Structure formats: C-alpha cells, structure tokens
Chain A
Amino acid sequence: MNLIKISWANIKDKKLNSFLSVLLLTLGIGMISLLLLLNKQLDEQFRRNIRGIDMVVGAKGSPLQLILSSIYQIDAPTGNVPLSEVNKLKMNPFVKTVIPLSMGDNYQGYRIVGTTPKYIEHYEATVGEGKLFVQPLEVTLGSKVAQATGMKVGDTFASAHGLDEEGDEHGDTKYKVVGVFEPNGSVVDQLILTDLSSVWAIHDHAEEPTHSTEEGETDHDEEAIPHEKEVTSALIQFRSPMGMLALPRQVNANTPMQAALPSIEINRLFSLMGVGIDTLRALAVVIILIAGASVFISLYNSLKERKYEMALMLSMGATRAMLFRMLLLEGLILALLGYVAGVLLSRLGLWLFSQAAEQDFHYSFSGMMLLPEELLLLAGALAIGVLAAALPSLGVYRLSISRTLAQD
C-alpha cells in the first residue's frame, strides 16, 4: 500500500472516465508526434537529395514539377530539351558541373534514368556488387530496386515505356544488370541507373514525333533518321554563389529551357504544405486541451464523490499534502499513459504512412527514435495532467473533516 497504488486503484476504479481522458490525450499527442516525425522525415529526405544541386534546367513548364521530377523522381518530367543546349552550359564560367538526366522508362514502377557517372559521384553512391554501367544498355540497380524486384547481377529485363508499371514494354531491347549500389539513403536507392546512350538506343526509333501515337514497337527495324539528341533535364552545380544571380535569368531568357532553383521551389512546397500541417497541429493542441479538461472534470466529479473518503483518510492520519499528492499522481499517471500510447500511435501512423509512400513513391520513412521535440511534448503532457489534477485537488485543503464525516 502506497500512494501510487492508491492512485492506480482509483484510476482503475473509474475505467471509463480514465479511458476517455487517456484516449483524448493519446489522440492529441499521437497527432503532434506524427506531424513532428513526418516533418523531420520529409525535411531530411528533401534536404538530403537537394544538397549540392544549385539549379536544374529542363523543358519549360512548372519549375516545381521540374525539381520534383529531376531531383526526387516523383513527378512526371516537363519534357525534353536538346543535349546541345545543356552542353552549352558547361562552357559557362559560373558552372562547375552539369549532370544530364534522361528518363522516360521504368521497370516495375522503378525509374530508369540515363545519366553520367557524375550523378553517382554526386550522391556518393558506391557499387556494392558487380560494377558500374559502362556500355549502353548496362544498368546498375539502386539497393531498394534490387530488393523489391529480386534482380541480380547478370539478369536482363525489358523496360516499360512511361513512368508507371502499365506502360508498354520495349520488348526487343533488353537491359542487362551489371551491378547493385549499396543503400545510401539518397534517391539513388530507388533508381535504375544507366548511361545516357542507353535511353537514346531504346528510344531512337520510338520517340520520333511522327510515331509518337503508336508506341508499340513490334516491327520497325529500320533505323530512324538520326535526329538531335535530347535529355530530360540537367542538374547544375555553380562554381560560386554569383551564378545564382546571373544564370537562371540567362537560361530563361536565351535558351528554350527553363531554370529552377531547388531551394526556392522546395521552400515554396513546404510553405504550401505548411498550411495543412499548421491546421492539423492546431487541431491536435485543441484535442490535448480537451483531454486536460476531461482529466479536470473527471477528477472534479470523482472528488465530489470521494469527499467522504478524503475526510476518512484524513481522520486516519493522512495529511492534506499527502492526499493532494495522491490526486496529482492520478493526473500524472493518466498523462503519462496518454503520452506513451500517443507516441506508440504516431509510430504506427508513420509505419502505415511509410508503407503507402513506399508503394506510391518508393520513398520510405523510418525513425522510431524519440525526437527531442517529443521530450518537450512529454513535459507538456505532464504539465497538463498536473494542472488539470491540481485545480480540483486544491479542494482537499478546504475540506472540513468533522463536517464531512458527520454529514452521512
């Protein structure tokens, strides 16, 4: 028998009231915690892949779309641009590196991206098994692709046209897997990388404007008239920050391409999402406050009912401070239960979200660690529990033992 045991017995005695209080807290805490987790994960994923890329050039269209498709590989590309225009940028004194990207095909939903070894260098990806692609039609798989498709070094596969699994297959030309990357947490994990020339080899005959309506490649053996080589976009690194000022304007004004700055677009994206996140967060705070009110009402009511018990315990030698502590402890235990359940709930939420994101975007989220913000959340939850318990519990100090005992 001790205070904690008595408090716990009281909580168990009022199962429904306690359940409601804990449930509300769980929901509120769970929501905030999930938002924190998602925010952190999204931020990490976005920042990790953005690093070092100062500008993206591609076909004119939405700059955000260009960033999403070229850096994160989640949106459709804006179109193609001539390779010659991209190569011209290499001459520019502000430009340090140009990494051309060419996409348009997939295998089981995983994008096949034609690029140069610089792309791999940039993301610091290392080949774990086999080697890096050298010849056209050789590919190196991202770790997640290898895991999901079960392909190994030496396997061959036919790509499908477009960016989703339902595209028509390029049945006659097959890619050959020559290596698998080590997992490194960047976008490379979810890509099939090959040389730029592979994509041209596959599409030379299929992507001519005249044939674009009938994409089935059953029987055109004749090589199409060589036309200008195209890429989808290019990732640019500047030599100095000065490039940021001059280059985008130059590209937009003087070339058929558009220039998009990842930092600006991503901030724009986050500020768009921010409205939704802020609303959810406000909602969660309201739920937590309601949970506090629920603890308050539940303790207030039970205190009215337990007035006699309190007087009885006082007559048996308990001090008022002791009873006050006992009641605070009830609020504290409820808050702690709500917090633990909420944090667990948010992990479950993140896991479910990750499953969905994995399926749709091949991005996964992990991170079951407790965030520093969540410790703050713990302090907040406990403070609400204590506060909600303290207000009604102060009544213990005004209780007249004799009068209460004589009443009944």
Chain B
Amino acid sequence: MITSKDLSFSYSPHKKFNFPDILCNDGEALLILGQSGRGKTTLLHILALLLTPATGDIIIDGHSIHSLSPKQTATVRANKIGIIYQRAHFVSSLTVLENLLLSNYLAGRNQDRDKAAYLADQLGFSEHLPKKTHELSQGEQQRVSIARALMNNPAVILADEPTSNLDDENCQRVVNLLKAHSAQIGASLIVVTHDQRLKDEFSNQISL
C-alpha cells in the first residue's frame, strides 16, 4: 500500500507542482491521467523516491520515507518498488535473463532463476531469455520490463506511460498483464499516462 500527502515539487520558482493526495491499497490499481507538462513523470519519480519532494510525505507499507538516508532510500526503492518506464531500458550488454537477475542482485537478494523463468513463461517471452534485449520487439521489451519490476515482489509497482509506444493489441496485453500480476503479488499498481486508451481499464482514476 502507498499513500501520499501534500506532495509538491518545484524545478524553479516559477514552475511549481502541487500534487493531489494519493491512496492505493494492496492489490489495487490507480490510474493517474494527465497531459504533457502536468508533472506526471515528476510525480512518478517522487513516488519512486528518485526525487525528493519539496513538501509532503509518502508512506509505503506503513513506513514514512521522510527521514530516510540516501542508502536506506536506495534499499527501499530496490526492494519495495518496481518501476516500469515509458521506453523499456536495459543493461544492453546483458541478456534478458541477466537483466531480470540484475534486479535481484542490485537489491542484495538471492538471484532467483526459477522466478525469472516463471515470469518469462507467464509474460510470454520464455524463448527470449538468452537473447540480448535489443533483439526483442518493443512489446516484448515492455513485457520484460514488467517481469523485471516483479522480480523482487515489490509492494508498489509504478508505471510511467507503459503503453504509449505500443500498438493497440500490445497495449491491451501489457495492461492486462500489469493488472493481473500486481494483483497476484498483492502490490499497489500506479500507472501514470496520457494514453486515453487506458481510461476505461481502471476504476480508480486521478487527473492532474
């Protein structure tokens, strides 16, 4: 579960973002819709603990992130939060499987090959595990990045425009997989997008 209160952020004195409070329970999904320039990515980065908000607090799994040291922040981010970016990015020199295991390694966990194989099977890219990531199509890459976000069983899954580069078919597939898998591990799913195709897919919505 993730909640936020009174979050605000400013890149400069003229450009200040005030964000609505967010509540997303375990196993639920929340869609945050907004046009470009409304601070969607900024909000996602704040929720992902990549940016420190000017004001306000975030509670993840009952713990405030307010007074965490940079190192603790990195640990919470690695273990509690799974992030999916607009364009899937990977460590290009590593294979798909290694990219999945990297997520375990960087979080300081045991490298769970079985789980990687299970997720690859569930998300339909088993045959691509030994390939380099650039050999995969965009849709496949996005599915791999979902698997990577799930590798550490995070409490929160954050997706930044996960479907904007995908065609309708892949879009539908990715959204369904995201919803199904975050519900399966009981994680809160927050999707930030301007993609109107997702409007009808989520019952909980916030507009920026």
Contact = CB atoms under 8 A, between A and B. Distances in A.
B93 A316 contact: no
A6 interface: yes
B105 A315 contact: no
Interface residues of B, number: 32
A9 B94 contact: yes
A12 B93 contact: yes
A353 interface: no
A406 B77 CA distance: 17
A308 B88 CA distance: 11
Contact of A2 (B75, B87, B105): B105
A6 B93 contact: yes
A309 B89 contact: yes
Interface string B50-76: 110000000000000000000100110
Interface stretch (B96-104, B121-129, B167-175, B181-189): B96-104
A9 B132 CA distance: 11
B83 interface: yes
A405 interface: yes
A405 B92 contact: no
A13 interface: yes
A386 to B, nearest CB: 21
B77 A317 contact: yes
Contacts of A315: 48, 50, 77, 83
A314 B71 CA distance: 11
Contact of B89 (A10, A308, A402): A308
B107 A405 contact: no
Interface string A291-333: 0000000000000001011001111111100000000000000
B182 to A, nearest CB: 18
B141 interface: no
A12 B75 CA distance: 30
Nearest to A11: B93
Given A6-B94, A9-B93, A405-B85, A316 B107 contact: yes
Contacts of B138: none
A172 interface: no
B130 interface: no
Interface string B142-179: 00000000000000000000000000000000000000
Which secondary structure characterizes the binding site on chain A?
Answer: helix
Contacts of A10: 93
Contacts of A12: 93
B50 A401 contact: yes
Contacts, number: 68
Contact of A13 (B41, B89, B93): B93
Contact of B75 (A5, A6, A313, A317): A317
A367 B1 CA distance: 69
A315 B145 CA distance: 13
Interface string A187-205: 0000000000000000000
A9 B98 contact: yes
A1 interface: yes
A308 B48 CA distance: 16
Interface residues of A, number: 24
Contact of A406 (B45, B75, B98, B103): B45
Given A6-B93, A309-B91, A315-B83, A405 B45 contact: yes
B74 A1 contact: no
Interface string A382-408: 000000000000000000011001101
Contact of B101 (A1, A13, A309): A1
B98 A1 contact: yes
A316 B85 contact: no
A312 B86 CA distance: 13
B92 A309 contact: yes
Given A1-B101, A6-B93, A317 B108 contact: yes
A5 B101 CA distance: 12
A2 B104 CA distance: 11
Contacts of B104: 1
B102 A313 contact: yes
Nearest to B46: A402
Contacts of B85: 405
Contacts of A306: 92
A176 to B, nearest CB: 72
B106 interface: yes
A316 B50 contact: no
Interface of B: 41-42, 45, 48, 50-51, 71, 74-75, 77-79, 83, 85-87, 89-94, 98, 101-108, 111
24 contacts: A1-B101, A1-B111, A2-B105, A5-B98, A6-B91, A6-B93, A6-B94, A6-B102, A10-B93, A309-B92, A313-B106, A315-B77, A316-B77, A316-B103, A316-B106, A317-B74, A317-B75, A317-B77, A317-B78, A401-B50, A402-B45, A402-B51, A405-B85, A406-B41
Given A6-B102, A317-B74, 9 more contacts: A9-B94, A10-B93, A13-B92, A308-B89, A309-B91, A315-B83, A316-B78, A317-B107, A319-B71
Closest 4 CB pairs of A and B: A317-B78, A13-B93, A9-B93, A317-B106
